[in-house]
Amino acid sequence: MAKAYFAGGCFWGVEYYFERKDGVISARSGYMGGTTKNPTYEQVCSGETGHYEVVEVTYDPKGVSYEELARFFFEIHDPTQSDGQGPDIGEQYKSVIFYSNTDEKDIAEKLIGILRRKGYNVVTKILPVTEFYLAEDYHQDYYDRNKSEPYCHLYQKRF
């Protein structure tokens, strides 16, 4: 098993799509990238902790590659929106790929290059993985529990 970390706006929608991706074992909503230990949702939303809403994707590399997951990430959110995602505006909603090693960083940079050559003004940040803090229970599987679908995210083929 392996883990990958993606921030693409509200984590509810990112989690929803990754949970349905072949090869993905689980997707969990949480926080990464900030300075506060064990932040709460309210603290992250204040914009003062420096955290992003992140989804931790646990996957089987025999069933899906990191590159396939990163490509999928770019197709389930708008990587060109610089101030958040859809109506969710703020630092915590910005687009980020967190890498665990140079291979993941190289893949993220390669995919951004491909998208830019296709005319997309990608603003996705590429940052090293830091400690992942699991979000509160009420954020996990939000759309499934509420029997609804994402309003900020939709699949759009870009590759």
Tens-of-pLDDT digits for all 159 residues of the chain?
999 999 999 998 999 999 999 999 999 999 999 999 999 999 999 989 999 999 999 999 999 999 999 999 999 999 999 999 988 999 999 999 999 999 999 999 999 999 999 999 999 999 999 999 999 988 988 777 877 777 778 889 999
Q: Is residue 33 part of a domain?
A: yes
Task: Say if 152 falls within a structural domain.
Answer: no
The residues annotated as belonging to the active site are 10
- Cα 91 from Cα 83, distance rounded (Å): 7
User: Residue 121 belongs to what domain range?
Assistant: 2-145
- The CATH code of the domain that includes 112 is 3.30.1060.10
Residue 12 domain-assigned (yes or no): yes
In a domain, 153, yes or no: no
Predicted structure pTM score:
0.95
Asked, for residue 154, whether it belongs to a domain, the answer is no
pLDDT at residue 144, rounded to an integer: 76
Cβ atoms 145, 17 nearer than 8 A = no
Query: Is residue 98, in this structure, part of any structural domain at all?
Result: yes
23 domain residue, yes or no: yes
Q: What region does 119 belong to: left with phi over 0, alpha with psi -120 to 50, or beta?
A: left
Q: Is 109 helix (H, G, I), strand (E, B) or coil?
A: helix
Is 45 a domain residue? yes
